[in-house]
Amino acid sequence: MILLIVLFTFGCIALGVMSLYWSVARPTGVVAAQLESVDPSLALIENSTLTTMTTRAAEPLNRIVPISAVEAAKLQKQLLHAGYASPDAAMAFRAIQLLLIVALPSFVMSICFVLDRPLQGSLMWGMVAVGIGFYVPRLVLRSKITRRQQRITWGLADALDLMVIAVEAGLGLNAALNRVGEELKDVHPDMHHEIDLVNLEIRLGRSREEALRNLAERTGVDDIRSFVALLIQADRFGSSIGKAVRVFADSLRTKRRQRAEQASAKAALMLLIPLTGFLFPVIIAVILAPSILNLIDLFSK
């Protein structure tokens, strides 16, 4: 038991020292520094101290516990959907996960040792802590993906209305995207960020079709995929973009209304659970309490 605690404690201290060294001693990349000096919008990597520390700590950890290429690609895609566009985001996520897998069992088993728990029970709680450290980052990531995709879905309708106005006012598609991105900066920041990335890719020389497909890939929202396919087809065949976007905006509004009606129908069904579990027993107790008290008085005589 003492040996396990010593090993876990040494592992936590070693990981902490490595992360501190990599966060302080390693210099910033030259390319990233030049991009930031040219245009701050090109710096897509989050530059917070915590992110830098976990990213640099993850490099030796991933050499020790490597990840397969398929799993790495899947994780990178999930992080992209959550809004983490940094190429080092997957490495940072792995570092956080591995640190939790080591730190939580160490903490739990140290508590069990202080409380003088049996070895079998301590090992069981240690395995539970390992499972928590493995699954909690994934649950948090899924929650972030769901919330961000919901925000983008709600912001898409406003973006389409603004795009219809901009295109019908005589602006081209690129200029309309720039205008819509500026207008959504305060209301829908996630949608503003994605549209800004599309405009940035177009300015850097990518084709409009490729930039729009990257938008659908980054968000993972079905409505965005449909909208991107609509814009690509309209641009390819030379049809009116304004009319196509207006029709799509109307169908999106209808779909949002149907989703709201579906949510309201589910809410009425979900109310049955608290009514059945809490309200009905109280009503039954209030109705039957006088009769029960009378019966108790009757049989006690």
Instruction: Give the total number of structural domains in the chain.
Output: 2
- 85 and 175, same domain (yes or no): no
Work out the burial of residue 283: count CB atoms within 10 Å of its CB; fewer than 13 is exposed, 13-18 middle, 19 or more buried.
exposed
Q: Closest Cα to residue 4, out of 126, 150, 132, 159? A: 126
> Do the domain assignments include residue 94?
yes
- 39 and 66, same domain (yes or no): yes
Q: Closest Cα to residue 77, out of 205, 217, 263? A: 217
> Do the domain assignments include residue 263?
yes
Res 183: pLDDT: 87
pLDDT at 72 over 70: yes
106, 130, 148 - which closes a domain = 148
pLDDT band at 276, cuts 50/70/90? confident
The chain-wide mean pLDDT, for the chain, equals 76
- 164 and 135, same domain (yes or no): no
148, 180, 204 - which closes a domain = 148
Q: pLDDT (tens digit, 9 = 90+) per residue, 8-23? A: 565 656 555 555 554 4
CA distance linking residue 222 with residue 228, whole number of Å: 10
Q: pLDDT (tens digit, 9 = 90+) per residue, 101-146? A: 888 888 888 887 777 777 777 788 888 888 888 888 899 999 999 9
- 57 and 183, same domain (yes or no): no
pLDDT band at 185, cuts 50/70/90? confident
Res 41: pLDDT: 43
Give the DSSP letter of residue 216: H
What values do phi and psi take at 37, rounded to 5? Answer: -70, -30
Residue 232 belongs to domain spanning: 149-268
- 72 and 180, same domain (yes or no): no
pLDDT at 294 over 80: yes
pLDDT band at 58, cuts 50/70/90? low
- 198 and 110, same domain (yes or no): no
Q: Is the pTM higher than 0.75?
A: no
